[in-house]
Structure 1
Amino acid sequence: MNALIDTLIYALSLYWWIIIASAIFSWLFAFNVVNSRNAFVNNIGTVLYRLTEPVYRPIRRFLPDLGGIDISPIIVLLVIFFLQRFLDSTVRFAFY
């Protein structure tokens, strides 16, 4: 059971870094630091969008309109943090 819990924690950590990369990429794209016409940059943006948007979309439906500020990545990061700690502390010790 420890292997399964460790695998889930590592998968959540990987998704954590995907969300961070998506946020940084969106800032670089918004401030025209990266060239959006470059095929490689466009592919990176598309992959990050497709990996994160299905998680952000349900959260954005419940959030109030804050103008140009999107706090859905922060909420997802908090949920991931909670799930990692829950798996590591509660679930792991429930099977001992």
Structure 2
Amino acid sequence: MKYHCTADTDLEELIGHECIDEKGSTFAYGPFPMAMLQDEELVLENSAALPVMMAAKLHALSVSLFIAEIAVHIPAGEHFRLILQ
């Protein structure tokens, strides 16, 4: 999976966010957990636009991700890799 980063890309965009409507709330997964769930590599294109601290956080999360809003733990699969380009 490929995702193009910009200077405005933040963790909410990459991990996901809660959506609330008249039917209740759901969580819209971003590309990071989607790639983990599908056990495939995630290529973050233009990753130089990301703050250094965010890149470090993403590397730390690439082993195991916990999404507190929905209390879901997503371990990295055998084929998941994070590639910063």
| Alignment TM-score, normalising by the size of structure 1 | 0.25
Task: Between the two structures, name the one with larger relative contact order (CA 8 Å, sep ≥ 6).
Answer: 1
- Structure with greater strand share of residues: 2
Higher Cα Rg: structure 1 or 2? 1
- Structure with greater helix share of residues: 1
